[in-house]
């Protein structure tokens, strides 16, 4: 199991605590420090079963100023997320087969059943 984590985000910290309380093995990925590759983002999207636009933090200033008014393909959005990881919705928790966005943090329980 992996959590794509931002320590400054309360939802991310709450989700991390839930995982710790479950006494399961998981890896913490600090995606702001170690940018995700485009392939990693694609893999996450498959596990979440969503389109790239659904992974975007649309209220971020950068998105509003540079991308909001543009018509972008899935691949273009993946490239944007790769270059600008702060635009990635958080936290994301994945296992081998699927994933969830921890908003709310309790969504992580879907992976623990």
The residues annotated as belonging to the active site are: 9
Of residues 4, 60, 72, 14, the one with CA closest to residue 37: 4
Distance CA 24, CA 47 (A): 19
In this structure, what is the dihedral angle of CA atoms 39, 43, 49, 50, given to the nearest 10 degrees? -30
């Amino acid at each position: 199991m992996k959590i794509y984590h931002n320590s400054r985000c309360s939802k991310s910290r709450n989700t991390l605590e839930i995982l710790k309380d479950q006494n399961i093995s998981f890896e913490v990925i600090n995606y702001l420090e170690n940018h995700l590759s485009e392939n990693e983002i694609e893999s996450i999207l498959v596990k979440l079963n969503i389109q790239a636009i659904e992974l975007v933090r649309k209220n971020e200033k950068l998105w509003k100023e540079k991308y909001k008014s543009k018509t972008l393909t899935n691949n273009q959005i993946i490239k944007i997320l790769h270059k600008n990881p702060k635009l990635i919705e958080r936290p994301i928790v994945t296992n081998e087969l699927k994933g969830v966005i921890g908003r709310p943090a309790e969504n992580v329980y879907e992976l623990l059943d």
